[in-house]
Amino acid sequence: MEENAHIVSAFDKELAHIQDQISQMGEHAAAVLQTALQAVKKRDPALAQKAIEMDKILDDFELEIEERATQVIALRQPMALDLRVLISAIKIATTLERIGDLGKNIARRALVLSDGKKLKITSSVVQMGKATRKQLDAIMAAHTARDADLAVEIWENDVDLDEMYNSIFREVVTYMMEDSRKISAGSQLLFIAKNLERIGDHTTHISEMIYYVVHGKPLGDDRPKGEPLAYSEE
Amino acid sequence: MIKMKTRNVDVFYGENHAIKDVSIDILDKTVTAFIGPSGCGKSTFLRCLNRMNDTISICRITGELLMDDEDIYAKSVDPVQLRARVGMVFQKPNPFPKSIYDNVAYGPKIHGLVDNKSDLDEVVEKSLKRAAIWAEVKDRLNESGTSLSGGQQQRLCIARAIATAPEVLLMDEPASALDPIATAQIEELIDELRHRYSVVIVTHSMQQAARVSQKTAFFHMGDMVEYGDTTEIFTNPVDQRTQDYITGRFG
């Protein structure tokens, strides 16, 4: 730390503070997701309501990080690594806010689901939720450690979420075809799975930001992706 | 296009090895910035490019320095003639204690670049216009150059430097003694000048280097550590020393 410290120590404090805010925001986004998934699993409207409430703080986090980063850019004219850290902080804050929104949307759907009968597929969706949460936790750890290799690994692992989504999609469609009374709940679960898949995509975006901070160039675009889903199955 | 080229240049001030093995291509119609901490050798190296170091007796220079592939340290080269082709602007505006007109007219006169008064008038007007100060002084050309404000004096000095139709313009901290408005005017001017000349600027302000230059060279303890596109140097430098310096860390 000493060796790599700025001559102006207040600059270091401001950068450290923003990084800390990002870490806290990441934990909070993960908590929203976790609570929403619990609500889905337990069909608990109170938990769902709680997740919806929790999401509001993420908006405040995003605003504060944006404002602070903008101030540092204006007042200190950061260069190179410092500039990349700040630009990526703004982008990561926006991404985490979106992840929160998707978590909130899952909670809303959990509210609807809590009225009806539990579907067997729920456990697959909850499993996918756990895997998504794991990806999110891992990317925040990679962010704190500024570990580009770990970030790339997480980026590559997103393909698993894509494949989980595809298999849930097929499964749910099969259920809905078998029993039209399951269409309402089934479509809610489909949206939940789609939201999880989107959270996975946002997580890869954070991977790309970490890579950019460390290496100063984009990670590129050839991420392994799941098979494109056949929407009109014969 | 390469305007000036140096190969393996070493500079010694007595025992002090001030510049170590610097090879660089300075491009035509481009602004090149030399940055680095005090004492890194950037000004010393700049002064090699028009042989300003010749006046320092203990200064010894080895290696090759070429302009348009001609050795500027060759016996046949007259340093005074060279300095007309490679003009220089200094940190502190230093107008002659003469009229505004004479400040600009001086160079073309001593180098015999004009035949008559009307030609000289034309060179003076053109130079003052290119230095973006004509509108402010055209009605007071007989007033002393020292009566102008600091920013105006510096633009007058730039007009004086370009009056001899140089090919390269060296600027050693040209805006460090000026207020932000005058600085912005000088920076705007540098951007204009690069369409005609090869400009090399030494600056302590990294923001200024980033704003005005297309190429940047970072000097540290006599070494040229890194040279490349300004956008690369300031967003993603290769060398850790460059990174530490431009981000304001101890190297």
Q: What does each C-alpha distance from A164 to A105, A120, A161, A190, A196 come to in angstroms?
A: 19, 16, 5, 12, 10
Q: State whether B250 and A217 contact (CB < 8 Å).
A: no
Give residue B204's identity as a one-letter amino acid code.
Answer: H
Per-residue pLDDT, averaged over A141-157, amounts to: 96
pLDDT at residue number A232: 47
Q: Which residues of A touch B208 (CB under 8 A)?
A: none
Q: Does the structure show a pLDDT above 90 at B211?
A: yes
- Under 8 Å CB-to-CB from A21, ≥6 apart: which residues? A61, A64, A65, A68, A93
Q: What is the pLDDT of residues B99-133, one digit of tens each?
A: 999 999 999 998 888 889 999 999 999 999 989 89
- Strand (E) or helix (H) holding B24: strand B16-27
Closest-CA distance, B206 to chain A, in angstroms, reads 9
pLDDT at residue number A233: 42
| Structure-model confidence comparison of residues A54 and A184, the more confident one | A54
| φ, ψ (nearest 5 deg) of residue A149 | -65, -45
Residues of A with CB under 8 A from a CB of B: 3-8, 11, 77-84, 216-217
Between A8, A77, A80, which is nearest B207 by CB?
A77
Q: pTM for this structure?
A: 0.81
Q: What percent of chain A has pLDDT over 70?
A: 94
Closest-CA distance, A6 to chain B, in angstroms, reads 4
Q: State whether B248 and A216 contact (CB < 8 Å).
A: no
Q: Which residues of B touch A213 (CB under 8 A)?
A: none
Between A81, A216, A217, which is nearest B247 by CB?
A81
User: Is residue B240 within 8 angstroms of chain A, CB to CB?
Assistant: no
DSSP characters over B181-237: HHHHHHHHHHHHHTTTSEEEEE-S-HHHHHHH-SEEEEEETTEEEEEEEHHHHHHS-
Between A3, A7, A84, which is nearest B248 by CB?
A7
Give residue A188's identity as a one-letter amino acid code.
Answer: Q
Q: Does the structure show a pLDDT above 50 at B76?
A: yes
Q: Which residues of A touch B249 (CB under 8 A)?
A: 4-7
pLDDT at residue number A8: 84
Closest-CA distance, A88 to chain B, in angstroms, reads 13
**Interface TM-score (ipTM) > 0.90:** no
Selected residue of A76, A79, A88 to mutate for chain B interface (largest B Cβ count, 10 A): A79
Residue A101 backbone zone (phi > 0: left; psi -120 to 50: alpha; other: beta): alpha
Q: Which 66-85 residues of chain B touch chain A by CB within 8 A?
A: none
- Nearest-by-CA chain A residue for B210: A79
Q: What percent of chain A has pLDDT over 90?
A: 76
Closest-CA distance, A82 to chain B, in angstroms, reads 7
- Under 8 Å CB-to-CB from B90, ≥6 apart: which residues? B157, B172, B173, B174
pLDDT at residue number B250: 65
pLDDT at residue number B46: 97
Q: Which of A48, A45, A173, A163 is nearest to A121 (CA)?
A: A173
Q: What is the pLDDT of residues B49-71, one digit of tens each?
A: 999 998 898 999 999 999 999 99
- Nearest-by-CA chain B residue for A5: B249
Between B207, B210, B247, which is nearest A82 by CB?
B247
Closest-CA distance, B251 to chain A, in angstroms, reads 8
Tell me if residue A25 falls in helix, strand or coil: helix
User: Is residue B33 within 8 angstroms of chain A, CB to CB?
Assistant: no
- Nearest-by-CA chain B residue for A215: B236
Helices (H) and strands (E) in chain A, counts: 6, 0
Tell me if residue A205 falls in helix, strand or coil: helix
pLDDT at residue number B251: 53
Q: Does the structure show a pLDDT above 50 at B200?
A: yes
pLDDT at residue number B182: 85
| Structure-model confidence comparison of residues A163 and A220, the more confident one | A163
Q: State whether B250 and A84 contact (CB < 8 Å).
A: no
- With the C-alpha atoms ordered A118, A121, A125, A126, is the resulting torsion angle positive or negative? positive
Q: Give the whole-angstrom CA distance, residue B10 versus residue A41.
A: 74
Q: What is the pLDDT of residues A66-109, one digit of tens each?
A: 999 999 999 988 999 999 999 999 999 999 999 999 999 999 99
Q: Which residues of B touch A82 (CB under 8 A)?
A: 247
Q: Which residues of B touch A5 (CB under 8 A)?
A: 249-250
Q: State whether A5 and B249 contact (CB < 8 Å).
A: yes
Q: Does the structure show a pLDDT above 80 at A119?
A: no
- Domains within chain A, CATH numbers bracketed: 2-215 (1.20.58.220)
Q: Which residues of B touch A73 (CB under 8 A)?
A: none
Between A3, A78, A216, which is nearest B247 by CB?
A78
pLDDT at residue number A201: 97
Per-residue pLDDT, averaged over A47-53, amounts to: 96
Q: Are strands B31-35 and B16-27 parallel, antiparallel or unpaired?
A: unpaired
pLDDT at residue number A122: 86
Q: What is the pLDDT of residues A36-47, one digit of tens each?
A: 999 999 999 999
- Nearest-by-CA chain B residue for A84: B235
